[in-house]
């Protein structure tokens, strides 16, 4: 059932419904179910009303303080499930730093494809294999063919990777044939999560021409259990711009409002834990970055996705694509950090990794912080790799 994270506790919405009234009560009823879809479909006004009612009720000295205290559950005592029933899943490719780093590995003469700076690139992924944080992931097997092999073989992936992404849940969709205007995206996007789009790089290299990723991606993607609403993130919106010597976006992907508030400042981190580290619960940080460095914004993702009349629906998930910063230590995937395995990284305990090994766990975390505003945490998305079945 639905809950709201309050520090180290969770407010059980099902226990406070009767203490609310009006739109807030209806919204709390919808949000207390086994998914957030019904609440998300109510729209931005209901999202805001419930958020305000919760804020007021949780304040010290409020009339609800003592009663609501009984509805708090310690986070360590709960189990997580997917917060949203996900309908469709579209994964974008919005970090020019990631695109350039990967492009240099395979196309040193032309790291970026000609359309990258004009089009928010994306592909349709598999929603059925999206799992909540804490779910173990088996190493996938599929067809592999190294450049020196005469024929492909069926085998477990040897280049298993993670991808650090931001996920966005659609709350209110659009009618088939209609587009969502760039400056209207906040009426449609409910909130954000963390997303790890597990990737088998050796499978991907063999299969991706001509239609793109398939078995290299669809075996699993992991999401954090918490959804941070867009309203909560408003203090962290930032100016967005495109360098004068780069192609400027077409009109449907540009506006004065977007240039003022289109970027979003979210600090991101990836950490690895090997089997040897697990006994002491140690983690090794391998990269830090910030979502403000995305080349294409969330608003642009939504506007481009629908410009042809594609109808987004409540519960759809949009992935930002791997988020990497301008320096290599800010890369959001091992394929970048290790130059496709050629330069293994050294972890805090001295172990090295080119790609993920069986027993390795990946933890992604994020937060927003700014002077004068409350720090907002996204929780984490964690997954451990098990041997191939």
For the annotated catalytic residues, the residue numbers are 98
Which tokens hold the place of 330?
């800010």
d(CA 130, CA 124): 13
Burial label for 215, CB within 10 Å (0-12, 13-18, 19+), is middle
Instruction: Give the three-state DSSP class for 256.
Output: helix
8 A C-beta contact, residue 84 and residue 315: yes
Phi, psi of 259 (to 5 degrees): -70, -20
Strand order in the sheet with 3-6: 3-6, 9-12, 72-74
Whose tokens are 């027993």? That residue is: 359
Which residues, in sequence order, are CB contacts of 382 under 8 Å at separation 6+? 133, 134, 222, 361, 362, 363, 364
DSSP conformation class of 349: T
Please check whether residue 87 is in contact with residue 316, taking contact to mean a CB–CB distance below 8 angstroms. Answer: yes
Q: Give the span between the Cα atoms of 244 and 184, in whole angstroms.
A: 26
Residue 251, classed as helix, strand or coil, is helix
């Amino acid at each position: 059932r639905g809950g709201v994270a309050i520090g180290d506790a969770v407010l059980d919405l099902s226990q406070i419904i009767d203490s609310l009234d009006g739109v807030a009560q209806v919204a709390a009823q919808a949000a207390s179910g086994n998914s957030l879809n019904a609440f998300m479909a109510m729209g931005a006004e209901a999202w805001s009303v419930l958020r305000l009612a919760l804020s007021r009720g949780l304040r010290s000295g409020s009339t609800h303080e003592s009663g609501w205290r009984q509805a708090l559950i310690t986070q360590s005592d709960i189990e997580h499930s997917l917060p949203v029933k996900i309908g469709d899943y579209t994964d974008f490719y919005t970090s020019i730093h990631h695109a350039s780093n990967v492009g240099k590995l395979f196309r040193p003469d032309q790291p970026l494809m000609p359309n990258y700076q004009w089009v928010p690139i994306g592909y349709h992924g598999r929603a059925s294999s999206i799992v909540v944080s804490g779910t173990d992931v088996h190493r996938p097997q599929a067809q592999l063919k190294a450049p020196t092999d005469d024929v492909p073989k069926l085998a477990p992936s040897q280049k298993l990777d993670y991808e650090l992404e931001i996920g966005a849940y659609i709350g209110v969709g659009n009618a088939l044939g209609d587009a969502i205007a760039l400056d209207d995206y906040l009426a449609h996007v409910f909130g954000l999560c963390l997303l790890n789009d597990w990737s088998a790089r050796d499978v991907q290299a063999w299969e991706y021409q001509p239609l793109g990723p398939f078995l290299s991606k669809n075996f699993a993607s992991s999401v954090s259990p918490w959804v941070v609403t867009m309203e909560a993130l408003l203090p962290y919106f930032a100016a967005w711009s495109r360098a004068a010597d780069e192609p400027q976006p077409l009109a449907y992907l540009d506006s004065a409002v977007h240039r003022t508030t289109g970027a979003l400042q979210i600090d991101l981190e990836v950490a690895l834990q090997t089997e040897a580290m697990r006994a002491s619960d140690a983690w090794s940080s391998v990269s830090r970055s910030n979502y403000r460095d995305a080349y294409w914004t969330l608003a642009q993702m939504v506007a481009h996705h629908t410009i042809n009349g594609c109808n987004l629906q409540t519960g759809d998930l949009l992935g930002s694509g791997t988020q990497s910063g301008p320096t290599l230590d800010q890369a959001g995937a091992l394929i970048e950090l290790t130059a496709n395995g050629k330069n293994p990284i050294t972890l805090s305990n001295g172990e090295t990794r080119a790609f993920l090994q069986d027993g390795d766990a990946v933890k992604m975390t994020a937060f927003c912080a700014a002077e004068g505003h409350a720090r907002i945490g996204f929780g984490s998305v964690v997954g451990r790799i098990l041997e191939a079945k």
